[in-house]
Chain A
Amino acid sequence: MSAKIMHKTWWGEKFVSALEAYIDPGRLQRGKAYRTDKRILDLQIDGSEIKATLRGNINPYFGVTKEPRYKVALKFEQISAQQWQAIIKSISGNAHWLSKLMLNEIPDNIEEVFSKGSLLPASYEDVRANCDCPDYCNPCKHIAGVYYRIANILDSKPMLLFQLRGLSPEKLHQELKKSELGQAFSEHLSLPESVAMEYQHYKYTPAYSKKSKKVPAINARQFWSMPADVHIIDENKQESAKLTSAWPDTQQNSDSITRISAALIKKQGDYPAFWTKNNSFIDAMELFYAHTRKKNNKDLF
């Protein structure tokens, strides 16, 4: 199983394992290749239904001379509204789970609240899938491709699972708002999930700007000397604050402090959405920072 796709998250892993038990190794292998943009031309998620268009293969042997398009449809077994209500209530009361969900993680013991069934489809039988390809077998490689694709999306957007199992976002918010903590989570989920494109006029922050705060030198000495600005207006204090020419003190960390590599980026977790690779983002960045430091150590103060 050298080509086994390592799923980044445990739920992604578990999600595909439901499929993998129902498919022969050949289809599985080919199915994995169908999860990319090269094959999936279009993918729509509407409520708990998924519709995708895939690009098939020309196969003159079977009389297929024009590249075919196959349509795949997937629908997951629904969890009842009543059941959802109870589930959301217990999630809302669990700060630990909420904090994980906020960070786009599914708590590993969340299944505890799903008295009947589970959040993740336990078996392929919980999925109704079909494909219009000539393959008689279900799941076919196209279905498998879409399924793998969904697993990839779930890695970074686990809340999609709730939708796929029949809980609409509106309903989710409605239920969350019933408790204080749930309210906090609801607020978090309502934050814009995407951002608008921003374009820059310059590659680097431009050094010169049109509206400058700096008044021109008042005499030649000031032009050449530090500090150039002798008086700064402290906007908060509404009065002129005097600057000393002394450089502000650095709080030099003692060398006994353990250096923590790549601390800044670690906080947003491994596998950020833009990181589509399967190896660890943090691991790669740690290596990068370490090399940057090491190779330039002699040239840095």
Chain B
Amino acid sequence: MQIIHLFWQQSSHEFNNSGCLYLWLEQAKKLNSSAAKQKHYYPYQAGEKVLSNWFTENFKHFLPNKLINKRMLPHAEIEALSVNLPCDQAKQPIPSPLIANLNDLNNSDYAGMAAFTLNTIKIEQPLAFLKELNFQSYYFADDLQLADDAKFWIKMATELSHMIKQDQYIPFIVAQKVKKKTYFYSQWQPLSAEYRQRLQQIAPLMPFSACLPDCALSENVQIDPLAVLQHFSEVLLNALICDTDYPQTLHKKLQDSFIENSLSLNQANISEQEWKSWRLWHNNLNYDQFGSPFYLCFRLNEASSSSGNDWSLEVLLQAKSDLSFMVNLADFWQEKSSKQAFFNSMLGSAIERNLLLQLGYACRIYPLLEQVFAQNMQQQRITITTEQAFAFLKEDAWALHACGYRISVPSWWTTSGRLKAKVKLRAAKKATAEEASGSSAATSYLSQEGLIDFNYRYAIGEHEVSAQEWQELIASKSELVHFRGQWVQLDPKEMARMQKLIESSQRDKRSGDLQDLLMMSANEEQYSVELDDTINAMLSNLKNREKLTLIAPPETLKAQLRPYQIRGLSWLNYLESLGMNPCLADDMGLGKTMQLISLLLHAPKQRAALLIAPTSVIGNWYKELQKFAPSIKATIHHGAKRTKQNDFKQLVADNDIIITSYGLIRKDKTLFKDISWSRLIIDEAQNIKNPTAAQTKVITSIKADSRFALTGTPIENRLMDLWSLFNFLNPGILGTRAAFRKEFEIPVQRDNDLHKTKILKNLVEPFILRRLKTDKNIIADLPEKVEQKVYCELSKEQASLYQSIVDEVEQSINETQETAEHKMIFLSALLRLKQCCNHPAQLLQDGSEFSVERSIKLQRLIELAGEAINNGESLLIFSQFKEVCDALQQLLKTQLGFNTYYLHGGTSRKKREQMIEQFQSENSPPAAFVLSLKAGGVGITLTKANHVIHFDRWWNPAVENQATDRAYRIGQQKTVFAHKFITLGTVEEKIDEMLEDKQKVADAIVGNDESWLSMLDGKSFIKLIQLRQQG
């Protein structure tokens, strides 16, 4: 695990206090080189060579271009810097949380700061670098991350970029006095009320690690975050301009003024008088930005009719302290004497002076405003022509806005309300031959070329216009026209372009498939899509899922669906019927499995379906199918004894669904590819996020009538992952990999192109259903507590150990007839079996590794915990065995880097209270709290967690519920999910079944603890513990 850190540092405390951005790589592996043995060397970081190579490889364009030796390739130079980092009492460093967890250092007590040496790389063009780093971060492997400080600077770079793109900075002169001589330096500085306000909001978010002063330069300097951001902005702004090549024409225009020196940041030859006149100018700009107590606001009132003879402009004064207070200029002028005290309280003391100044400036920008002064300021509005109104909307309003004036324009002018000239696309469904013959086989709207007739028309907003009208509008050359009761902006050039588009489309594409239609309707700017009733109903169903006709839950389903699950089922069914392949991406815990099982019941198919899932959930799928849909014949294709070759076809023929794991996809690919499946379902679809992986390629090539993807993690963040998923579900929708990269990936992820982002969102939205537990209408559907049984299989090792225990017990029982001895044998067997179900290492007690591979139960736990924590949720993990608790918390912390807490019988009262407080604190990050059932099952409140995992079972529901209630109690604001882990086919499953039946059995044999088990006779006991074969 490596973490990219970035910190800012002021390079000098002298007058020329420039600054640099430095990069360093923190890593989990402790360095052991000779350098690392030096005192104060920070051990959890990449060594010089590794860092230099890593940087050289990934950021070629940012290497210094001075070549010392022609034969030597450019490489990143390492600078060793001494900075203050947190440490414990023994002056040992405390790394960042993830690295600390991985090294089991999170319990180190923070004692202060100490100087450590870091290997760093000085970043040459910080703004360009931060943009590139942000782009690359979308492609990081799982073991590379950005630290919070790096994320902070990336965000800061976007803020600074925005300020620069808005020209919100001015020429600036710094005067320095050395002895009696004055020196002047001409440079640039941000001057924007908006930017300053942003910095004030952002400053408190800056991690301490984002700014590390050089210890060699000074000790104990204090950091002021706002000043750091200003310093950063000023240094980078000036460096950027200094590095920019300006043409001779500009140099000529600036020649002999101090601003010419600002281009190169040279010391300028400036007189005091010049400085003073610059300063006065600067102060005036500054006053304008920050000082005036009211805004001047210009409101455009639209003309009431097409004649356009009553457009008007209104001038209003708006109080900065209370934006709801606005007064028309003429009203103010009339009443300013009579209501002076009132106006002064709202608009400040020097209203007239401010007003005349502001109006004067505004007139410079927009001379038409001089009319305001006519008639002694007594007119409420200035009347203007349609052309003037258009010019105002198009240019002057924005010029005034950019200068700090407030603008109010009719709502139809705003982006959302604006009517635009568009291509109107009329789409109608074709009656197909298949439909006529009533064949229902695999009607895919997506791929049926010629399914939909396209008819292109001209439109203004939603209104259709004839080709002749369109021509007339283009010819009228007026850019603002009154059209069917509304004012509309027209761009004749754009309209002419659309005309061409229509003319060529009419030749080329008179019909197409749903995919074409979706692509065109995603581009709302250009197309206005009108559909015939059939297609309209279909598309509106896709877009407004709430309006989808609900189907009845299948009667054969042995469970109650929650309302949102019925919606999910209806949606899955609807998309499948259209031949569009859906992705169900509901938040964990909402029951994706159940929704899919319902679909299998609702729309049974002749041929079998193939379900691919991670090994850890195969058993759960099987068990849930059995439990909730016993009518479906399901089988697991997994393990060494799985069906091979020709028998596989028979297996498929005999079953409705075959469950297999991702791991087998490549091994058994010929088996899978030979079958034509009815449905291909992939669970935990993030497993195919890498489009080049062999596994992904095999999965996309398996033939099936319809495909489904289930995932609980958001998939829209990394566009490459999204593409890969769509390449499986609905290939073609997002184009080829290369086209997608050019069309969306780079514009969205590198250039932050909002238009493209929107089109992409429109394009994929119909295919993805993602609901969060926190959605309002989901909360209403969810009970406060949800109990879920999590079924896992035994690993091969566990199964054979389990069998040997059973054999041993059988033998011992046969050897002795004494009940008392049987009792002992039973209890010891039960204990060992439980241990075996948890993990072989627990059973063997041989110090062997508590590894994920050896226990599927453990595997599942880790996946669940990971999903919860990545989702920002905390969880409690209960086990009755201290050694399991020990091992679990160690694993979660040091291998996965999770934040963990651990409470067991030996925890001191003080420590316990401290932990609870910290865990519960709103500011603590999500964490896993491991508790031994005995020590943590009662008394305490841990409502920060909304997942409770019972890793092994205590055969007493009351005890388990009490443990669950640590989270499910007053103060809990979310639904609590209790996950009870059960290994399939084992004593765990069988006792669970008995518990479930307890209510049904009149004289319950199941008591409050395990003692009832010892009442059994030998035969019954063997029957109870015997391994039941699955699938």
Contact = CB atoms under 8 A, between A and B. Distances in A.
Interface stretch (B150-158, B501-509, B655-663, B885-893): B150-158
A9 to B, nearest CB: 13
Contacts of B395: 258, 260
Given A214-B222, A226-B152, A277 B256 contact: yes
B495 to A, nearest CB: 16
B54 interface: no
B198 A248 contact: yes
Interface stretch (B203-211, B531-539, B671-679, B720-728): B203-211
B17 A277 contact: no
Contacts of A258: 394-395, 398
B17 A204 contact: yes
Interface in B375-414: 376-377, 394-395, 398-399, 401-404
Contact of B227 (A103, A105, A206, A274): A206
Interface in B613-627: none
A279 interface: yes
B517 interface: no
Contacts of B85: 223
Interface stretch (B28-36, B354-362, B980-988): B354-362
Contact of A203 (B169, B187, B337, B399): B187
A299 B204 contact: no
Contact of A225 (B17, B207, B276, B754): B207
A95 B373 contact: yes
Nearest to A252: B754
Nearest to B280: A195
B206 A291 contact: no
Contacts of B256: 276-277
A58 interface: no
Nearest to B131: A301
Contacts of B450: none
A245 to B, nearest CB: 7
A264 B162 CA distance: 14
Contacts of B376: 95
A6 interface: no
B353 A255 contact: no
A220 B244 contact: no
Contacts of A299: 125, 127-128, 131, 240
B840 interface: no
A273 B218 CA distance: 42
B18 to A, nearest CB: 7
Given A204-B234, A225-B97, A99 B19 contact: no
B483 to A, nearest CB: 19
Contacts of B232: 207
Contact of B207 (A102, A223, A248): A223
Interface in A88-110: 94-96, 98-100, 102-103, 105
A221 B97 contact: yes
A96 B359 CA distance: 9
Interface string A133-177: 000000000000000000000000000000000000000000000
Nearest to B246: A291
Contacts of B373: 94-96, 99
B253 A283 contact: yes
Interface stretch (A43-51, A66-74, A119-127, A181-189): A181-189
Interface string B157-174: 111011011111110001
B640 to A, nearest CB: 46
B399 A214 contact: no
A205 interface: yes
A229 B206 CA distance: 8
Interface in A224-256: 224-230, 232, 242-243, 245, 247-248, 250, 252, 254-256
B250 A291 contact: yes
A254 to B, nearest CB: 5
Contacts of B1002: none
Most buried by B among A105, A211, A222, A225: A225
A224 to B, nearest CB: 4
A280 to B, nearest CB: 8
Given A261-B167, A279-B253, A203 B16 contact: yes
A259 B206 CA distance: 31
Contact of A273 (B204, B250, B272, B277): B277
Nearest to A261: B167
Contacts of A257: 398
B854 interface: no
A206 to B, nearest CB: 6
Given A103-B360, A261-B167, A291-B247, A229 B18 contact: no
B244 A296 contact: yes
A250 B199 CA distance: 12
Interface residues of B, number: 136
Contacts of A193: 280
Contacts of A102: 353, 356-357, 360
Nearest to B336: A180
Given A99-B356, A99-B359, A228-B205, A199 B175 contact: yes
A273 B280 contact: yes
Nearest to B241: A292
B254 A212 contact: no
A229 B352 contact: no
A184 B830 CA distance: 95
A20 B170 CA distance: 38
Contacts of A224: 86, 96-97, 147-149, 207-209
B283 A199 contact: no
How many interface residues does chain A have, given as a range?
35 or more
Given A195-B283, A204-B234, A296-B240, A266 B363 contact: no
B1012 interface: no
A10 interface: no
A299 B198 CA distance: 21
Interface in B182-199: 182, 185, 187, 191-192, 198
A211 B205 contact: no
A222 B86 CA distance: 10
Nearest to B247: A291
Nearest to A259: B398
A257 B249 CA distance: 28
Contacts of A207: 8, 10, 17, 19, 211, 223-224, 227-228, 230-232
A269 B244 CA distance: 26
A22 interface: no
B205 A245 contact: yes
Contacts of A3: none
A114 interface: no
Given A200-B175, A300-B161, A98 B356 contact: yes
Nearest to B414: A254
Given A199-B177, A208-B213, A260-B398, A267 B404 contact: yes
A212 B223 contact: yes
Given A197-B175, A220-B110, A277-B257, A262 B167 contact: yes
Interface in A283-301: 283-285, 287-289, 291-293, 295-296, 298-301
Contacts of B361: 103, 267-269
A197 B398 contact: no
B998 interface: no
Given A269-B364, A300-B131, A181 B352 contact: yes
A194 B398 contact: no
B235 interface: yes
Given A256-B415, A263-B399, A268-B361, 7 more contacts: A200-B176, A207-B231, A221-B925, A224-B149, A247-B202, A267-B365, A276-B257
27 contacts: A102-B357, A185-B356, A200-B15, A206-B17, A206-B231, A207-B232, A208-B221, A208-B222, A220-B97, A224-B148, A228-B204, A228-B205, A243-B205, A247-B202, A250-B162, A256-B415, A256-B418, A264-B192, A265-B285, A266-B403, A268-B361, A274-B278, A284-B254, A288-B259, A291-B244, A292-B240, A293-B165
Task: Identify the 8 closest CB pairs spanning chains A and B, nearest first.
Answer: A263-B402, A212-B222, A96-B373, A299-B128, A99-B360, A273-B277, A284-B253, A300-B161
